[in-house]
Structure 1
Amino acid sequence: MRTQSSRLPKLHKILIASIVVFITLAVLILPDMDDLTQHQPKFKIGKSYPLEIPTEALSSNPIEKNWLHWQPYTVQSGESASLLFSRIGLSAKLLHQLISSNNDIEKQLSRLRPGDTLNFGFDKSNQLVELVRPLSAHQSFRVYKQGDTFTSKVETKEIDAQYNYTEATISSNFWNAAVSSGLSANQIMALAGIFGWDIDFALDLRAGDHFEVLYEDRFVEGRNIGQGNIIAAVFTNQGSSFKAIYNPEDGNYYDDQGRAMKKAFLRSPIDFRRVTSNFNPTRRHPVTGQVVAHRGTDYAAPVGTPIWAAGDGIVAKSGYNQFNGNYVFIRHSNTYITKYLHMKKRSVKTGQRVKQGDTVGTLGGTGRVTGPHLHYEFLVHGVHKNPRTVNLPQSKSLIGKKKNDFIKLAKQNLDQLKRYNHLLIAKE
């Protein structure tokens, strides 16, 4: 009978043989450890290591923006890009490299204007790696270095629009009332433009006329960048109310039934200022003293004020005589003719085609007049009509589904305008 000790050598042999087989298989199957570690960092116990993420995954610009040194420079009067770069110590070679990179960079740097601000971004070696030119409150033109060259893009920030409301009653004049209501100068002119086919803002306004306006306030990153479009407005003039609603589909204004606010003719061919006389067929002539028909409307405004074509047409006559001074006649069709007299300067020639709102001349005092003004006439089939009251032909209005969709939108916006008005009244 064998003892336990006599079996130990045999077990040792079996164990050793098993270990040898295991090691042999491991060598044959497992990859070389150098292959596993040659691209890996050497870690040390007890030390923390940050997660490394390629810069390209974080930004389209490989330059780390956090440590760029930014310096703004304002373009001075008479200063080109070349003079600007020279003034701030940047080489002509660098400027040439920039404008040679692409056409957009060349265009932006060739169109600098006095007062423009450019922001230059320099790296730790004081090398230019970025250049930003603000284009507007929400757009910038950015140039950045990629390798040995420069590239560019236009960056646009999202605009958030919020509705705001104002209203006013005219006591002295429209402009003062609109300013006191909080409207900007551009919005005041836009409001007059919206209703300018129905109301002559130089002649028709009266004390007690009223307007209500729903408009946009625009924000970029929480900062107010100004007022946007007029969304809806109601203008009450001498007891008649006119409604206008903005259509985002085409950028035009229509009434609550989808009829275009824009007509074939403007009520007034000039900015509203002050007026010397109205339409009066039995007016006494200021020079001769005789009672003669004054078949038109006189608009007094500063000399040089632009005069607009009241509608699309062809210039039938552009000339001068001792009575009319510098004058322009426009034929709009076989039905309509408009006349503009006593101008300081004519801007169109006989036979020229014009569009509504084009400048045909500037206000003056030429011909038989007692002072500078525009004499404006409106003829229908050769008969003089009062341009302030004559029925004007409509422009194209909405039809079909577009009309139905717009009427729903118009109701929503007008209802919102009413809610603002009720809230304002409640506060008072």
Structure 2
Amino acid sequence: MIKKTFKNIPKPHRWFISGVAGFLFVLFLFPSEPVSAYKNSASTLEVGKRYGLEVNFDNFTIENFSGLEEINKTKSVVVKKGDNLAMIFKRSGLSPQQTYHVSKAGELAKKLLKIMPGDVLELQIDPQGQLVSLQYPYSSTDTLVITKSENNTFSSKIETIEVDTRLNYTQGDVTNSFWNAGLKANLTDNQIMQVAGIFGWDVDFALGLRAGDSFYVMFEEHYINGEFIENGDIVAAQFVNRGEAYTAIRYDDGNFYTPDGRSMRKSFLRAPVNFRYISSSFKKKRFHPVQKRWKAHRGVDYAADRGTPVIAAGDGKVIKSGYDKYNGNHVFIQHGEKYVTKYLHFTKRKVKKGQTVKQGQVIGTVGSTGLASGPHLHYEFLVNGVHRNPRTVDLPKAQAIAKKEKDKFTNIAANRLQQLNNNKRIMLAMN
């Protein structure tokens, strides 16, 4: 007699049980040995235990189906463009109620609101179609884990893999361009841009470089279980331009300072775009390539590929963001009471009038809208309403590090300078 019906048992298990019952029935009809010989059959009992069955050979019953379970399924879901948690759960066969409960699994669960295309969610789902757990590795070291508890509520936590941070060092000499020299020194594209950003207030990377200029960069590398994962922060760097050395030390606040504690960050960037070359300089008189007449050129034209990001030269407020037939798509930014910067000929504008922007924030992309013969950024710099050459205008002095941080920074700077100089000597000896 079967004490529990087969109605709720998956087909593969019903087939197994039917087979076992049929086998036992044949044994009792045509025993070649006493039935008791099969009573302690190891293989039969082991199979029964595996499925949570208790096989009673005496009264021909199969008992205890309560342990008959399927293994939870793990599903990897790649986030698509336009996806959100509700859409992902729906595709995975999970109910809106489960979406709601997961989204309420503590403050950490809000990270699921920032999922991006290409991210991967690991979903563990039980045989009844209920979510057991969710894992979202949102960085190379950190994973959001949301698990279901016995009372059917969800909780969240962050699991972090221990990272081994090591220092690496490289150096190079400029022959024709800093970009090519950086690549030759095995710097990544991002690191090259970081170095240019660190020294961009003091070094003119467009026209101010000379053959024989040199650079030295010390940076972090991250490893997990001995395997390289990613580059970390640049911690110290030096750029020698025309015989003058500029040295930068990274502090705990993420900013760079000179060894004596003055910020490398000035109020304005010299160039607000990663350009290929200057196509037209600041001039009192220039023949306009489109209008075909002589007129003042009150800014600098930076030739760059269409779509190249343009950033704000300094902190400020957008006082104009619009389009006209002369300037094309353009943005004007007010910096305090004294300074205004203008950016013309965008393909697209990324900010609106009245918006507050930070130095380095993308405000548009290079284009050729308006009166422009090709893709470039026309950049103007006004001081008290008067146009000045952005490449030569005197900029406000750099701020010094806070007095309460000075002693700590001095110790860090001394250590970094020693490391930087030691590496330079080692490289010199190797060459």
TM-score normalised by length of structure 2: 0.71
Q: Deviations over 1:246-295 (max 9, x none)?
A: 001x2211011100111111111112333312334454443456554433
Which residue of 178, 182, 185 maps to 1:178? 182
Q: Does the CA contact (< 8 Å) of 1:378 and 1:387 recur in 2?
A: yes
Equivalent residue in structure 2 for 1:225, among 183, 204, 229: 229
Count how many residue pairs are aligned between Structure 1 and Structure 2. 359
**Offset, 1:113:** 4.5
Q: 1:105, 1:135 → 2: CA distance?
A: 12
Q: What are the ranges of 5 or more consecutive residues in structure 1 without an aligned counterpart?
A: 1-67
Deviates more, 1:398-407 or 1:105-114: 105-114
Aligned counterparts, 1:361-376, within 5 A:
361-376=364-379
In structure 1, the residue corresponding to 2:246 is in which secondary structure?
A: strand
- Kept in 2, the 8 Å contact 1:287–1:370? The answer is yes
Percent of aligned pairs with the same amino acid: 46
Structure 1 residues 415 and 280: alpha-carbon distance in aligned structure 2, compared to 1, 3 A threshold:
farther
* CA distances 1:208-247 after superposition (whole Å, capped 9, x unpaired): 3221101101123333221101000001223332111000
Residue 265 of structure 1, aligned match among 264, 268, 275:
268
Aligned partners of 1:98 and 1:105 also within 8 Å: no
Cα deviation, residue 425, structure 1? 1.7
1:234 equivalent to 2:210? Answer: no
Deviation at 1:162, TM superposition (A): 1.1
Superposed CA offset, 1:278-324 (max 9, x none): 33445444345655443321111122333322122344444555544
Amino acid at match of 2:422: R
1:137 to 112, 137, 140: 140
* 1:339 aligned residue (317, 342, 354): 342
Q: TM-score, normalised by structure 1?
A: 0.71
**Helix, strand or coil: the match of 1:234?**
strand
Structure 1 residue identity aligned to 2:261: G
2:395 to 382, 392, 400: 392
Distance 2:207 2:380 in 1: 15
Measure how far apart 1:87 and its partner are: 6.5
1:26-425 correspondence runs (5 A): 71=74, 73-75=76-78, 77=80, 92=95, 95=98, 99=102, 102-103=105-106, 107=110, 113-120=116-123, 129-149=132-152, 150-248=154-252, 250-287=253-290, 292-348=295-351, 352-425=355-428
2: CA distance between counterparts of 1:80 and 1:351?
31
Q: Measure, in 1, the Cα distance between the counterparts of 2:284 and 2:72.
A: 73
How far off is 1:333 after superposition? 3.5
> What is the CA-CA distance between 1:124 and the residue it aligns to?
12
**Cα drift, residue 395 of structure 1:** 4.1
Q: CA distance change for structure 1 residues 70 and 221 in 2, over 3 Å: closer, same or farther?
A: farther
Task: Work out which of the two has the higher radius of gyration on C-alpha atoms and give 1 or 2.
Answer: 1
User: Secondary structure of 2:171's partner?
Assistant: strand
CA shift at 1:200, angstroms?
3.6
Structure 1 401/74 Cα, relative in aligned 2: closer, same or farther at 3 Å?
A: same
For 1:353 and 1:159, the matched residues in 2 are separated by 37
State the alpha-carbon separation in 2 of the partners of residues 380 and 86 from structure 1. Answer: 57
Asked if the contact 2:89/2:99 (under 8 Å) is kept, the reply is no
Label 1:270 to 1:125 Cα distance change in 2 as closer, same or farther (>3 A).
closer
User: Distance between the aligned counterparts of 1:326 and 1:94, measured in 2?
Assistant: 46
CA contact (8 A) 1:105 1:143 kept: no
What do you get for the CA RMSD once the two structures are aligned? 3.5
Local SS of the residue matching 1:415:
helix
Shift of 1:415: 1.4
In structure 2, distance between residues paired with 1:127 and 1:283: 72
How far 1:91 moved relative to its partner? 5.5
Shift of 1:201: 3.0
Q: 1:352 to 1:111 in 2, by over 3 A?
A: closer
Q: Where does residue 53 of structure 1 map in the other structure?
A: none
The one-letter amino acid paired with 1:329 is F
- State the one-letter code of the partner of 1:237: N
My pick for the range that moved more, 189-198 or 348-357, is 348-357
- Of 377-386 and 167-176, more deviation after overlay is shown by 377-386
Greater Cα offset, 141-150 or 318-327 = 318-327
CA, structure 1 residues 282+76, in 2 after alignment: closer, same or farther (shift >3 Å)? closer
Q: Is the 8 A contact 1:70 1:119 kept in 2?
A: no
After superposition, the C-alpha distances for 1:10-68 in whole angstroms (9 at most, x for unaligned) are: xxxxxxxxxxxxxxxxxxxxxxxxxxxxxxxxxxxxxxxxxxxxxxxxxxxxxxxxxx9
Report the more deviating stretch, 194-203 or 125-134. 125-134
SS at match of 1:411: helix
Q: Distance in 2 between matches of 1:254 and 1:427?
A: 30
Aligned equivalents of 1:382, 1:242: Cα separation in 2: 32
| Aligned-partner Cα distance in 2 for 1:216–1:226 | 9
Q: Secondary structure at the match of 2:313?
A: coil
Equivalent residue letter for 2:389 = N
The CA distance in 2 between the partners of 1:179 and 1:210, in whole Å, is 13
Structure 2 unmatched runs, 5+: 1-70
How far is the alpha carbon of 1:388 from its aligned partner?
1.7
Cα 1:246–1:105, aligned 2, differ >3 Å: closer, same or farther?
closer
